[in-house]
Chains A and B, each alone.
Chain A
Amino acid sequence: MNDLTSKSITETIKGLENAEFSKEELNKAYLGRIEKLNSNLNAYLSINDKSEGIPAGIKDLISVKGQRMTCASKVLEDYVPPYNATVIDRLIANKISVIGKTNLDEFAMGSSGENSAYGPTLNPWNTEKVTGGTSSGSACAVAADLCTFALGTDTGGSIRQPASLCGVVGLKPSYGRVSRYGAQAMASSLDQIGPITKTVADARMVFGWISGADGYDSNCINSKLEIQNPKLNTLKGISIGLPKEYFGKGLDREVEKTIKSAIKKLEDLGASTVEINLPHTEYAVAVYYIIMASEVSSNLSRFDGIRFGGNRDLFGSEVKRRIMLGTFALSSGYFDDYFIKAGKVRTLIKQDFEKVFEICDLIAGPVSPTTAWNIGEKIKDPLTMYLSDVYTIPASLAGIPGLSVPCGFANDLPVGLQILGKYLDEETILSVGEIYQSATSWHKKRPKL
């Protein structure tokens, strides 16, 4: 009974159906664990002690009616959303309840979880290390068994990277798969909501619940997604592309070894591999910081202190920096050289992926060039921090789906294997992740807390 909190969603649903435990016992177990661990880890910014369903942690920039939402900013210190985000309504319809709102980098801007106005989230594997960001609290809460699963958002890697650094599963769906109605917009041509879970099978389930158009997000794809059992049951015939650019300079040697042995495992399971080139990868971070910052400067202009929230002087420095960078890139005299140029290079990055997907079914490589780093290590040097997202940003710019799957440890810290798929083909990457997990047990490892 005392391991209720380590169960996956599938196991929890089964346990409830077989009356092995009740929903009250389930929530009590989680609330007890949160009470014990959250003051140290700082995964949650607020707790709902009236949680009744299967408990989920929700990134604190997704609206839950009546529950404070801060976006980890002082600007929204006492903001209470008057409506639910679409993803929340859909979770509730599937008997999920929100047990708490999880910490993040302020307005989802950062790569480490340190930019929260309410203090950093600590990595449950080693509390001197960062969790990664920006869905820092969501990844930490899943890894530390403080919820059955969590929702995060991913603009340039904010689901995949903290999932990788905390040893849990993270899915960034294709752009347009999930409605963002009720989520605070950061960079609207990139933002996606997605699950952070204990298993790939759980990610599939949550993705099925939350995806599909609602009429409130014009970029959301209308076609109904049927989430059923995995389509593949073997990797025979699957071709995996290994981008040369994702295994070059800057990749930690221990991380590289771990990733290569995971790829070897996929080969043992029947997949073939092929070396590929994504030649415009080196420009992705530059393109991303122009486009993302430009969209940020526009989206965050709504914070005028009139209809909700406090004044603009309450923004943290990373938020201010990005608003300024974006305003600069959009300003008269620079617009063509930066914003338009970045849009053109984005086309080339997207075409890189389209070309390689003619010869392979998916792409595999590292999520992050290193394991979790020390708290404070990169915070004073924004550019170095930006460069830590070099392997996740290209897929965001192209709008394709990406999955982070725990695949081992380097320097005693978790490493995530990134699996990228064709646009709207979450099915293949989820199937491959599930086959990998059925043959390995990395996802069953838990931090000692």
Chain B
Amino acid sequence: MKNNKRSKIDIKHVTRLTNLPVTAAEEKTFETQLSKIIGYIDQIEKGVDTKKVEPTFNVSPNSNVKRPDVAEESLSQKDAIKNSKNIKDGFFETKGVFENE
């Protein structure tokens, strides 16, 4: 069936992409709820002819908005890091990106 792929969401794959820790029970609930929602949104694929229509992703007429290339005052380092719990020597501390390679 041509449209078969759409009614089914691979919840494990999506969870991995979102970086969301989800319990097994949650996974089941989300799968049921999202399948129902996806079943509903599928109507646009079947119901509307858009062959000659360009998509709209922004309704503002603005494009390539620039500002003068002038340095402005910005947040101090102290203010910029004060909401983090992972500070080392005045910097954000993160997990190593290449540690497992």
| Residue positions of A touching B, CB distance < 8 A | 79-80, 82-83, 175-176, 189, 215, 218-222, 280, 282-283, 285-287, 289-291, 297, 301, 305-309, 311-313, 315, 317, 320-321, 323-325, 327-328, 331, 333-334, 337-338, 340-348, 350, 382-383, 386, 397-399, 423
Contacts and interface: CB of A to CB of B under 8 A. Distances in A.
B94 interface: yes
Nearest to A382: B33
The interface size bin for chain B is 35 or more
Contacts of B53: 344-345, 347-348
A399 B38 contact: no
Given A176-B59, A289-B41, A317-B26, 6 more contacts: A82-B79, A219-B62, A287-B44, A311-B21, A350-B56, A399-B59
Contact of B33 (A305, A321, A338, A340): A321
B60 A176 contact: yes
Given A289-B41, A325-B34, A327-B14, A315 B20 contact: yes
Given A289-B37, A340-B55, A383-B36, A218 B30 contact: no
B19 interface: yes
Contacts of A311: 21
A218 B21 contact: no
Nearest to B13: A331
Interface of B: 5-6, 9, 11, 13-15, 17-22, 26, 29-30, 33-34, 36-38, 40-45, 47-48, 50, 53-62, 65, 67, 75, 79-84, 86, 92-94
B54 A347 contact: yes
B21, B53, B56, B65 interface centre (most CB from chain A within 10 Å): B56
A380 B41 CA distance: 19
Nearest to A338: B41
B44 A283 contact: yes
B82 to A, nearest CB: 7
B94 A343 contact: no
B37 A382 contact: yes
A427 to B, nearest CB: 18
